[in-house]
Structure 1
């Protein structure tokens, strides 16, 4: 079977996103006829129609939707491979660890202390990001290791080790009707305004932004929202906030994740350190 080139995938992604040959050609910096020929050749090679063309519009077929999804992943993988290779060959190579603020279950100081003693350890750069951005940064090569949370983060393309399984709490203003309760159930939150990333989608107002967590807590303190978060965040709350266990919420599992088939000794050393300090190892 013939392999598709990155150029073909780039052409197809541009056309799929623009759904207009003229705009896609302009975006790619080429003339429209070569783009049209390349897309026709691509359809011949894959053997199925990728586009529905009329005089008024261009639309993706179901097969085209699949190729668009896979093309984006493939191009991201190529870009990530180049970035990781360049960073690995740098004179002062460093291990980039990405996490959202407070998103490492309080384990990071112990992990770093243990990691520094490993002979394969190198300098660590901590990269703080907004809600939902860790997996993206690990996937595109900007980071070597990430702290992720299941079931909320997409783990495809990663290897991972579980570190902590956390119960969930709801964070509310100190004067909220639920603030004095010993526990609540999800049904008790009916009618409350929850940020949309609670269901696994990221609301545009909360990420990717390294200050998103602080803005979220400010909105909760103002009575605009309540949020269900891992219990490890309870110790970091402001005085004008309260937390209550949510007894029937699905737990959140903290994981340390890295790209599949990674051969980095520094990554392996960091994962060993993380697993060693995990409560699962005790």
Structure 2
């Protein structure tokens, strides 16, 4: 009989290591099996990326007002107005085909937004998805802009609270999100690139606080498990244009000229992203 205490310790450790390996293999196998219904079409993205289609998603709408200030300012109105302005600027340049998930004050579920973006007419290696939102937080001093890509974990308390609020319409399967996280690798570099460019231009041209700095593990692009970022096949970014809960920022976001500046900065950022793509 072997009474060596080290052997008795090694056995459970080896068992746990092998169990973890088995679970990883099963997850990867299941991800491949569910390729048609979950995550990213990496085969298309592996052929390169050429921007032709832009899907703009004005957050909330209809019976879902989003964040609402004490004075009655609604997130859904700001996001729709900025989205329309951005679409107009891009269409005037006639370089891309531009689509809105909603063009008026109507309710769209998160599932419907994803289904719109995942149409066959928007190939993942030729399209980007931009979801526009306004933020809110209990501390009214908080202000600034943020950009998000999909990640399993929120970067901080504020991001976690935001995810809970934005994902409230749909049930979230953590296991599916684990699979998506593995399969999103195909478009991750494009997502990060467009998010960084848009964030940088918005901050520079609008003179606002960059809330991505020191709040992200990934060089300026924050991560969070937003439903619309998880399930869209194309490179997808969620932009928080400012805090409705902050008096000064809310006032600016309701002004036509400021919304025009946001749209202009976003359009320039999209063009810059396109110009940096390898030919």
- Name the structure where helix makes up a greater proportion of residues: 2
Report the TM-score, using the length of structure 1 for normalisation: 0.28
Q: TM-score by structure 2 length?
A: 0.28
Choose between structure 1 and 2: higher strand proportion.
1
Between 1 and 2, higher relative CO (CA 8 Å, sep ≥ 6) is seen in: 2
